[in-house]
Amino acid sequence: MTQDVVLPLSILILLIPLLSFLINIFFGNKLGRLSGVVGTTILGIDLGLAIVVAFTKLTSYGTLHIIQNRVEWFNLGSVKVLVGIGIDNIAAIMLIVVTLISFLVHLFSTVYMEGDRRYPKFYAYLGLFTFSMLGIVIANNFLLMYIFWELVGISSYLLIGFWYEKNSASNAGKKAFITNRIGDLGFFIGIMILFFTYGSFMFEDVFAGISSGVMPFNNPTMLTIAGICIFMGAMGKSAQFPLHVWLPDAMEGPTPVSALIHAATMVAAGVYLVAKVFAMFTADALTFIAVIGTITAFISATIALTQVDFKKVLAYSTVSQLGFMVMSLGVGGYTNGFFHLVTHAWFKAALFLAAGSVIHAMHHAAHHMHDHHTDAQDINNMGGLKKTMPWTYRTFLFVTLALSGIPLTSGFLSKDGILAGTLAYANLTGGWHWIIPVLAFTAAGMTAFYMFRLTIVAFHGEHKTEIAKHTKENKLPIVLPLVVLAFMSLWIFYSPNPIDASKGWFHKMIVQPKSAVPDAYQWSFLLNEHAEEDATVAHQAEGSTTHLEATTGKPDDVKAAGHTTGHYLNKFQEESHHFHYIAMILSLLIAGSGIALAFMIYQYKLISADKLEARFKFLHTFSLNKWYFDELYQATAINGILVVSKALSWFDNYVVDGLVNLSSYVTRGFSYVVGLFDNYVIDGAVNLTATFTGFLGAKLRKVQTGHIQSYVVFVLLGILILLYFFI
């Protein structure tokens, strides 16, 4: 496979889900049950192509920064607007993530959505969503990315509100859409600042412009602001504080949708965006990102502690983990942030699909027992599912371990890297930045606790209700995706060493890009110490340690080793490495204590949960009510907008309408005068003409006798007159 096949294949990968959308939206009703099979098959083909492309990029062209093209789309005056698609290493990995999870969700849904009235439409929307998401992945410019960004927004709106008969579902869809719009507005402003300054939407042009020292409005602060604006888009899609409120509500959508959109792909888009344009963030922008990520990770972890809805716990857990990723990018741990995005995608999709499996089983059992009042998603109605649903339990337990950060899982590798990064960051910058690792470790501990609380309450112990007793393990299309995803959460896929990912291929391939920001506005520890090396080598495995280079004997590695023996790309990575073992031990301790606490409280009841609850009544209600964010927004943003709207409506009704009415009165008066003129003068003239014509006609008609012979006489008279006239 050669390099120039990669891009056409990528376009094919992009378009194939669109085909699925078109088939299912137009012929869905004819296909009926078949639409699921069609959708799944198409996604299967797409997955195959994505694997081919990704492996080609990562193996044959791994050292090449990006394979891309530039196409002139249209002209804005003298400015040519270029677009294009590009496959770099993170895009290649994201292709697999998106298509594989999408494929598994398609497969899962064949059983889960069975019997739904709009079954073909569901598959159509899934296809549209996959198409949009792949568009984000392969865009190499802000313009296309923004377009697909909005397409993702609309398709997620359709999917969240899929059961729009339920008021809560349609409200959740609207909430997700509107909240995303707030972030997208920032994204849009950021894009416009960059386009205005650098005259191009292409990432590489913008980066080249920044590194040449050109600043938006000649002000470095504006570059920070542009970065924060771009990041606002990510805040919306990746549900970062304070725009995180839509994600838990989005659990109203069908559970496979939650797995696809709200665990693995759409919410990853924000993180992906930050990773893609990582080179343009200044030190200040990165600090902002890190703080937002930390706050998100901590707050949502505390909320997850007390939720009783199975999916809500997972939703807040997702928000928390997204916070971790954003935090990691913010502190400069590019590779680990993206690593966590990938590993998290597998195990969180698995968690959600397991939740779907449980809920499906609970629904079936409830339906079987004619019980329509018990909440099938409340974990307090479950219990003992370990016995009735063994495969779901096993996979769920394993991915819970992965999420909690236990060795031998992928989650351990990525989370450990992030935590080490926060320690390194705090150590390098000092001051209040130490809050970041503190909150990060606390959140990691809480993650372990609430995940095991969920596992123990839902799966262990006795059946809490009759429904739980009657649950049954689901069919293969539901269990198979779980197993596949759990399997993907093993450490072995990323690194041969179960406790250190930095030796694996992933860290070798995903290399922190050289920051485009001039040195003065960037953290000194993020500056590449070997920046003078030639550009093609700069994107190679410099970040990896020397022993890796010794083990893999590729020529370019040897070349790189010539310069970098014993060195890291930058000071941050070096520092991260120093903190690696400290972070590992600390996180294991904290995760272990979280798990132990969960077992003490919920499994062995050594500590009464109720008493704890009573003791920390205020904290509990605060967490249970999600820090009153919804209420806060209701009181401030929503009511504020309503008040403004009412004021505007008053203004509209009385002032604007008054003006309009006044002008209409004036116009009517004028028209009346004009009408009079029209009626009497103009019509009078017209009538006069008509009357005159009629009079003439009445006189002349007498000539028309109807006698042919008199006509002949007239003709003869005429001829005679002519004759005498001419002679």
CB 687, min distance to another protein, A: 24
Provide Rg for the chain, Cα atoms. 34
- Taking the least distance from each CB to another protein, the nearer of 679 and 710 is 710
CB 719, min distance to another protein, A: 8
- Please give the Cα distance from 595 to 593 (Å, whole number): 5
Question: Facing residues of 66 across strands?
Answer: 88
Q: Residues in the chain, how many? A: 727
- The tokens for 388 are 């009735």
- Taking the least distance from each CB to another protein, the nearer of 115 and 697 is 697
Is 419 in contact with 463 (CB distance < 8 Å)? no
Three-class secondary structure of residue 264 per DSSP: helix
- Taking the least distance from each CB to another protein, the nearer of 553 and 706 is 706
What is the CA 330 to chain-centroid distance, rounded? 19
- Please give the Cα distance from 352 to 633 (Å, whole number): 28
- Taking the least distance from each CB to another protein, the nearer of 8 and 694 is 694
> Count of CB atoms within 10 A of residue 37's CB?
13
Residues forming contacts to another protein in the complex (CB under 8 A) are 700-709, 712-713, 716-717, 719-720, 723-724, 727
- Taking the least distance from each CB to another protein, the nearer of 673 and 700 is 700
CB 669, min distance to another protein, A: 49
Is 383 in contact with 457 (CB distance < 8 Å)? yes
- Taking the least distance from each CB to another protein, the nearer of 607 and 722 is 722
- Taking the least distance from each CB to another protein, the nearer of 687 and 705 is 705
Nearest to 572 by CA among 357, 403, 360, 328: 328
- Does 242 sit behind a cis peptide bond, omega within 30 degrees of 0 on the bond before it? yes
CB 682, min distance to another protein, A: 32
Interior CA angle at 410 toward 256 and 57, to 5°? 85
- Taking the least distance from each CB to another protein, the nearer of 75 and 704 is 704
> Count of CB atoms within 10 A of residue 603's CB?
15
- Please give the Cα distance from 286 to 291 (Å, whole number): 9
CB 704, min distance to another protein, A: 3
CB 695, min distance to another protein, A: 15
CB 664, min distance to another protein, A: 52
CB 711, min distance to another protein, A: 10
CB 718, min distance to another protein, A: 12
- Please give the Cα distance from 319 to 327 (Å, whole number): 12
CB 691, min distance to another protein, A: 19
- Please give the Cα distance from 704 to 335 (Å, whole number): 104
CB 715, min distance to another protein, A: 10
- Taking the least distance from each CB to another protein, the nearer of 547 and 707 is 707
What is the CA 491 to chain-centroid distance, rounded? 26
CB 690, min distance to another protein, A: 19
CB 688, min distance to another protein, A: 24
- Taking the least distance from each CB to another protein, the nearer of 628 and 695 is 695
- Taking the least distance from each CB to another protein, the nearer of 604 and 726 is 726
> Count of CB atoms within 10 A of residue 221's CB?
13
Nearest to 292 by CA among 344, 237, 235, 335: 235
- Please give the Cα distance from 482 to 583 (Å, whole number): 30
- Taking the least distance from each CB to another protein, the nearer of 671 and 710 is 710
Beta strand pairing call for 86-88 and 66-68:
antiparallel
Three-class secondary structure of residue 378 per DSSP: strand
Q: What is the DSSP letter of 493?
A: G
- Taking the least distance from each CB to another protein, the nearer of 535 and 698 is 698
> Count of CB atoms within 10 A of residue 708's CB?
8
Is 283 in contact with 330 (CB distance < 8 Å)? no
- Please give the Cα distance from 18 to 134 (Å, whole number): 10
CA contacts within 13 A on the Cβ side of 282 = 22
